[in-house]
């Protein structure tokens, strides 16, 4: 096997002396593989991106890694569906027919390109269902809230306002299909926003004529299966005496696999004068491959950060990106999102219904 050398220099400095040790690391010759980027859901037509893997020490233009001449197909297990995806540019292959994935169906992706090993992978969208069981407005109150931030002659002033708030409790049920599945929960409020201030940020500002959008808000829960919305540290031991307030939560079906379970959350939201009280609760069901890939991506990012190649090679233990691609790299994984809207009167509608 041909190898190349990568030199890593260790420096140790003291008050009066310094030394260095040069370590030669044998780096195996890189053999290019197909890299698949394929996340699919019922809301989108079939689409995957194919790249060619690059050398760890190389500096290739990313555009040169796109694979434009592959044959890519998706088929289900019983032979009732099969489609060859067409190249749409930049290594992206799409279903020209407009076909979309169906939850609960196992799909096989197969891709072959000249000079590269043929790859394949199998995944599905978990056929979980979700529903709102009960929605209750518990109370309303007024409190001092921060208002506008004004800067004049190098002085910053924060004006205080009296705001009205509402407290809600929501119970929802998830029916989990067999197998290891993961869930993501987010809550949004229809909010008026002010002018852009910095880096695209637009503060919530309750003034007539302001544009409106759904803004993510926090919620509380004492369910011990909830974790903060951070894939990297999902498997860390939970702090049972700590945070019960979430800006997005992740949880697994470990305690209710293949069964139905009810969850309860509470949240406090500001009442606006210029827009009606409307909210969206978004459930995402994630296949094990989808979750594990994102977990390892963020864990690697948190662990390695911006350190150089030499330090990355010496990292112990290394964090390997999860892949379910046979004879290749990347991921092919299903997920689905279910959105429910509701208002202050307790009217509930699904994301697919007209408001």
Gap between the Cα atoms of 82 and 48, Å rounded: 15
323: left (phi over 0), alpha (psi -120 to 50) or beta: beta
Q: Which residues sit opposite 331 in a β-bridge? A: 37
Instruction: Flag whether the pTM goes above 0.75.
Output: yes
Q: Answer whether 34's CB lies under 8 Å from 111's CB.
A: yes
Residues 121 and 174 in one domain: no
Residues 158 and 266 in one domain: yes
3-state secondary structure of 312: helix
Residues 203 and 345 in one domain: yes
Residues 64 and 146 in one domain: no
Q: What is the domain range of residue 108?
A: 34-125
Q: Answer whether 280's CB lies under 8 Å from 195's CB.
A: no
H helices of the chain, in order, are 288-304, 309-313
**Cα maximum dimension of the chain:** 76
Gap between the Cα atoms of 272 and 176, Å rounded: 37
Question: Given 57, 91, 125, which residue is the final one in a domain?
Answer: 125
Per-residue pLDDT of the chain (355 residues; tens, 9 = 90+): 445 555 544 444 444 455 666 666 666 778 899 999 999 999 999 999 999 998 776 666 777 899 999 999 999 988 899 999 999 999 999 999 989 999 999 999 999 999 999 999 999 999 999 999 999 999 988 887 655 544 444 554 555 667 789 999 999 999 999 999 999 999 999 999 998 877 778 888 999 999 999 999 999 999 988 998 888 778 876 665 555 899 999 999 999 999 999 999 999 999 999 999 999 999 999 999 999 999 999 887 766 555 445 555 555 566 789 999 999 999 999 999 999 999 988 888 875 444 3
């Amino acid at each position: 096997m041909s190898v190349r050398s990568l030199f890593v220099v260790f420096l140790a400095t003291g008050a009066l002396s310094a030394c260095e040790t040069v370590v030669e690391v044998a780096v195996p010759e890189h053999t290019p593989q197909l890299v698949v980027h394929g996340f699919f859901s019922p809301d989108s037509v079939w689409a995957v991106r194919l790249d060619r893997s690059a050398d760890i020490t190389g500096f290739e233009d990313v555009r040169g890694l796109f694979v434009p001449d592959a044959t890519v197909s998706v088929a289900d297990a019983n032979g009732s569906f099969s489609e060859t995806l067409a190249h749409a540019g930049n290594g992206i292959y799409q279903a020209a027919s407009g076909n979309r994935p169906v939850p609960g169906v196992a799909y096989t992706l197969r891709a072959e390109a000249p000079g590269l090993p043929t790859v394949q992978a199998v995944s599905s969208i978990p056929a979980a269902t979700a529903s709102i069981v009960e929605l209750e407005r518990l109370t309303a109150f007024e409190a001092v809230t921060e208002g506008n931030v004004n800067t004049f002659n190098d002085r910053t002033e924060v004006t205080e306002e009296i705001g009205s708030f509402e407290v809600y409790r929501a119970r929802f049920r998830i029916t989990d299909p067999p197998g290891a599945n993961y869930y993501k929960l987010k809550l949004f409020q229809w909010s008026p926003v002010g002018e852009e201030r910095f880096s695209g940020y637009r503060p919530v500002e309750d003034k007539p004529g302001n544009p409106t959008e759904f803004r993510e808000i926090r919620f509380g829960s004492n369910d011990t299966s909830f974790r903060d919305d951070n894939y990297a540290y999902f498997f860390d031991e939970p702090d049972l005496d700590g945070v019960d307030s979430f800006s997005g939560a992740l949880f697994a079906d470990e305690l209710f696999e293949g069964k139905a379970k009810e969850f309860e959350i509470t949240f406090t939201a500001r009442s606006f004068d210029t827009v009606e009280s409307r909210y969206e609760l978004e459930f995402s069901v994630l296949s094990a491959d989808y979750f594990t890939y994102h977990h390892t991506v963020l864990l690697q990012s948190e662990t390695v950060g911006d350190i150089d190649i030499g330090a990355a090679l010496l990292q112990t233990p290394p964090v390997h990106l999860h892949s379910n691609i046979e004879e290749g790299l990347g991921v092919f994984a299903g997920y689905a999102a279910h959105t429910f809207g509701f208002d202050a009167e307790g009217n509930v509608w699904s994301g697919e219904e007209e408001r």
